[in-house]
């Protein structure tokens, strides 16, 4: 594996993903992780991330004592390079000014740049610079502004780069990372097939002949997990799908179809729409709606879980992903993972052991597995859908009538995105039914219909998002179709607010 020590760079996860894209397994640990912790991962190479600190600040985070004496190949990126230079006897100084943005390597040489000819564009973001090298090291790249853009140790396997090879603004950055992995002799066996085999073997070893309970939501993670568990332990799996009546048009059917390989006895579909709608009656506050849906979900799921527990079911599987688990310098990680996971909240007397096969996977890797496991494309590539479902896309009170209107309108929008091949070009798209009614005219008569909001966004992490520049002809067609086929809607508007200040959902 490759151990990535995180010194607080916003790109640390990206480094981990890039290494995995190069088919090497990677793990992120806090920059100050103990040597024992690092060696427990049996690393074949170490990457030191960038970070906001200055190495000459005495309180800046440093890797464990003795790490550099292990004979392991090391790649230091930005702060990581500065650390290497300073720790091994070179010098780092505050540069006259900050080098930020695209920079061109006017000169580069040696095996780290093997196969790369001519000038290379790389992304820079630093205000400290290496001004003297440790003994025996060489400068192997420079930019106009920076005479020390990359350095190489005498061992031929340890390097420092001032630029960020992991970001898209470094078009040949992946080649640099790949050269490093090659020089370091890192095993490149992290293929989806290998991952699948490993996961299946691990699950079998852990679970033995016990039974496993899984809640499926229709999202890609839980659906893939259902297929994986089914492949690994067959009928020892019981998947429970709670239909809360807040799903989109045809969604329940789609999920049932996708999970057909589980066999009828192993997929329990609980229709609880009545119960949810009843509980939501008269409620219009968004947070209140969220709480109610969460609470009712646990009630329904608990009842199923209790039955299964009494039948001797021992494990509860969850689709927790690596980003929820990473113990990074940013302070996230295992400690607060429970707070945002779906099936927390079961009462303490109901005891299950937790099975989290995706704990070390990124979302893209789950999608690759989904492909191998035969999860149908529409679910595999589906946009995220919030747990409270359409309840938070109907502003104000949720009623069966409004659910019906929104479902039909949403389906027209989403189907059109697919028809126009635009679905995969946006990160999330949705329709929102507002309580507002506006005046219109149909034939010679005045009409009075609801205002429907359409929203589509581009985003990488859903923390910030930009509204999608959908073609005007497309929006025109969708608005016409919706008002024609859903006469309760009198007006269609497109949301052109980014996040921040707006959120992606309207509630």
Report the catalytic residues: 78, 164, 166
The answer to whether the beta carbons of residues 432 and 453 sit under 8 Å apart is: yes
Question: Smallest distance from the beta carbon of 304 to ligand XMP, in angstroms?
Answer: 20
| Distance of alpha carbon 458 from alpha carbon 496, whole angstroms | 12
Cβ-count burial of 320 within 10 angstroms (0-12 exposed, 13-18 middle, 19+ buried)?
Answer: buried
Q: Binding to ligand XMP (CB under 6 A): which residues in 221-280?
A: none
Q: What three-state secondary structure class fits 82?
A: helix
Taking the least distance from each CB to ligand XMP, the nearer of 6 and 324 is 324
Report strand pairing: 120-132 vs 91-108: antiparallel
344 touches ligand XMP by CB under 6 A? no
Taking the least distance from each CB to ligand XMP, the nearer of 408 and 499 is 499
DSSP state of 113: G
389 touches ligand XMP by CB under 6 A? no
Taking the least distance from each CB to ligand XMP, the nearer of 198 and 498 is 498
Q: Binding to ligand XMP (CB under 6 A): which residues in 271-330?
A: 290
- Report the residue from 214, 220, 242, 504 that binds ligand XMP according to the rule CB under 6 A: 504
Taking the least distance from each CB to ligand XMP, the nearer of 85 and 504 is 504
Q: What angle (nearest 5°) sits at the alpha carbon of residue 419, between those of residues 417 and 423? A: 35
Taking the least distance from each CB to ligand XMP, the nearer of 172 and 499 is 499
Tokens representing 478 are: 């969708």
Question: Smallest distance from the beta carbon of 377 to ligand XMP, in angstroms?
Answer: 20
Residue that has been written with the tokens 């989806």 in this structure? 192
Nearest to 343, CA basis, from 361, 328, 355, 333: 355
505 touches ligand XMP by CB under 6 A? yes
Nearest to 125, CA basis, from 159, 93, 98, 91: 98
| Distance of alpha carbon 149 from alpha carbon 169, whole angstroms | 16
Tally Cβ neighbours within 10 Å of residue 386.
17
Question: Is the alpha carbon torsion for 413, 417, 418, 419 positive or negative?
Answer: positive
Question: Smallest distance from the beta carbon of 384 to ligand XMP, in angstroms?
Answer: 4
Q: List Cα–Cα distances, 218 to 243, 250, 378, in angstroms.
A: 10, 11, 11
Piece in contact with ligand XMP (CB under 6 A), picked from 90-98, 371-379, 386-394, 476-484: 386-394
The upper half-sphere exposure of residue 30, i.e. CA atoms within 13 Å in the direction of its Cβ, equals: 14
Question: Smallest distance from the beta carbon of 283 to ligand XMP, in angstroms?
Answer: 14
Give the bridge partners for 213, in sequence order.
238, 316
Piece in contact with ligand XMP (CB under 6 A), picked from 6-14, 369-377, 379-387, 409-417: 379-387
Report strand pairing: 45-48 vs 74-77: parallel
Taking the least distance from each CB to ligand XMP, the nearer of 21 and 505 is 505
Question: Smallest distance from the beta carbon of 105 to ligand XMP, in angstroms?
Answer: 38
100 touches ligand XMP by CB under 6 A? no
Question: Smallest distance from the beta carbon of 284 to ligand XMP, in angstroms?
Answer: 16
206 touches ligand XMP by CB under 6 A? no
Taking the least distance from each CB to ligand XMP, the nearer of 121 and 434 is 434
| Distance of alpha carbon 458 from alpha carbon 466, whole angstroms | 5
Piece in contact with ligand XMP (CB under 6 A), picked from 17-25, 156-164, 249-257, 384-392: 384-392
- Report the residue from 134, 388, 449, 490 that binds ligand XMP according to the rule CB under 6 A: 388
Piece in contact with ligand XMP (CB under 6 A), picked from 72-80, 247-255, 385-393, 437-445: 385-393
Q: What mask of x and - would describe binding to ligand XMP in positions 456 to 485, judged by CB under 6 A?
A: ------x-----------------------
DSSP state of 424: G
Tally Cβ neighbours within 10 Å of residue 107.
15
Question: Smallest distance from the beta carbon of 504 to ligand XMP, in angstroms?
Answer: 3
Taking the least distance from each CB to ligand XMP, the nearer of 311 and 424 is 424
End-to-end CA distance of the chain: 42
Piece in contact with ligand XMP (CB under 6 A), picked from 77-85, 241-249, 372-380, 381-389: 381-389
Name every residue whose Cβ is closer than 8 Å to that of residue 390 and which is 6 or more positions away in sequence.
246, 247, 248, 398, 403, 406, 407, 410
56 touches ligand XMP by CB under 6 A? no
428 touches ligand XMP by CB under 6 A? yes
DSSP 171-197: TTHHHHHHHHHHHHT------HHHHHH
Tokens representing 179 are: 């050269």
Report strand pairing: 313-317 vs 211-216: parallel
Question: Smallest distance from the beta carbon of 502 to ligand XMP, in angstroms?
Answer: 8
Piece in contact with ligand XMP (CB under 6 A), picked from 140-148, 383-391, 405-413, 432-440: 383-391
Q: What are phi and psi of 205, to 5 degrees?
A: -65, -40
Piece in contact with ligand XMP (CB under 6 A), picked from 135-143, 191-199, 243-251, 498-506: 498-506
- Report the residue from 171, 234, 374, 384 that binds ligand XMP according to the rule CB under 6 A: 384
Taking the least distance from each CB to ligand XMP, the nearer of 99 and 243 is 243
Give me the residues that bind ligand XMP (CB under 6 A), please. Answer: 290, 384, 386-388, 428, 462, 499, 503-505
């Amino acid at each position: 594996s490759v151990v990535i020590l995180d010194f607080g760079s916003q790109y640390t996860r990206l480094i981990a993903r890039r290494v995995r894209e190069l088919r090497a397994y990677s793990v992120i640990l806090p920059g100050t992780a103990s040597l024992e912790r690092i060696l427990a991962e049996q690393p074949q190479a170490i990457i030191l991330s960038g970070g906001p600190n200055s190495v000459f600040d005495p309180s800046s985070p440093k890797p464990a004592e003795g790490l550099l004496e292990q004979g392991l190949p090391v790649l230091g990126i930005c702060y990581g390079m500065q650390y290497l230079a300073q720790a091994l006897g070179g010098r780092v100084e505050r540069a006259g000014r900050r080098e930020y943005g695209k920079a061109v390597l006017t000169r580069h040489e040696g095996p780290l740049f093997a196969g790369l000819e001519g000038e290379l564009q790389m992304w820079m973001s630093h205000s400290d610079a290496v001004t003297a090298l440790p003994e025996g090291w060489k400068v192997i790249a420079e930019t106009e502004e920076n005479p020390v853009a990359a350095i190489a140790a005498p061992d031929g396997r340890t390097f420092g780069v001032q630029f960020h090879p992991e970001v898209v603004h470094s078009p040949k950055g992946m080649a640099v990372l790949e050269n490093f992995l090659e020089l370091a002799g890192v095993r490149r066996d992290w293929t989806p097939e290998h991952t699948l085999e490993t996961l299946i073997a691990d699950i079998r070893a852990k679970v033995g002949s016990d039974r496993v309970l899984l809640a499926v939501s229709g999202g890609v993670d839980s659906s893939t997990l259902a297929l994986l568990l089914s492949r690994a332990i067959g009928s020892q799996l019981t998947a429970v799908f709670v239909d809360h009546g807040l799903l989109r048009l045809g969604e329940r059917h789609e999920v049932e179809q996708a999970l057909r390989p589980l066999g009828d006895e192993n997929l329990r579909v609980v229709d609880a729409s009545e119960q949810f709608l009843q509980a939501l009656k008269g409620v219009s506050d968004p947070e209140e709606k969220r709480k109610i849906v969460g609470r009712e979900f646990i009630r329904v799921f608990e009842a199923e879980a209790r039955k299964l527990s009494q039948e001797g079911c021992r494990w509860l599987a969850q689709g927790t992903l690596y980003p929820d688990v990473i113990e990074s310098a940013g302070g996230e990680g295992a400690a607060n993972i429970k707070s945002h996971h779906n099936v927390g909240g079961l009462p303490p007397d109901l005891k299950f052991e937790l099975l989290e096969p995706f704990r070390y996977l990124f979302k893209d890797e789950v999608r690759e597995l989904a492909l191998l496991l035969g999860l149908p494309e529409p679910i595999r590539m589906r946009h995220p859908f919030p747990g409270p479902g359409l309840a938070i896309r109907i502003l104000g009170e949720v009623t069966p009538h409004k659910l019906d209107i929104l479902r039909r309108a949403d389906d027209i929008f989403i189907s059109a995105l697919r028809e126009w091949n635009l679905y995969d070009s946006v990160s999330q798209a949705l329709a929102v039914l507002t309580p507002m009614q506006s005046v219109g005219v149909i034939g010679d008569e005045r009409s009075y219909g609801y205002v429907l909001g359409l929203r589509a966004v581009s985003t990488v992490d859903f923390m910030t998002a930009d509204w999608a520049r959908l073609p005007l002809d497309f929006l025109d067609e969708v608005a016409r179709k919706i008002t024609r086929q859903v006469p309760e809607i009198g007006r269609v508007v497109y949301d052109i607010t980014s996040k921040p200040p707006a959120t992606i959902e309207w509630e």
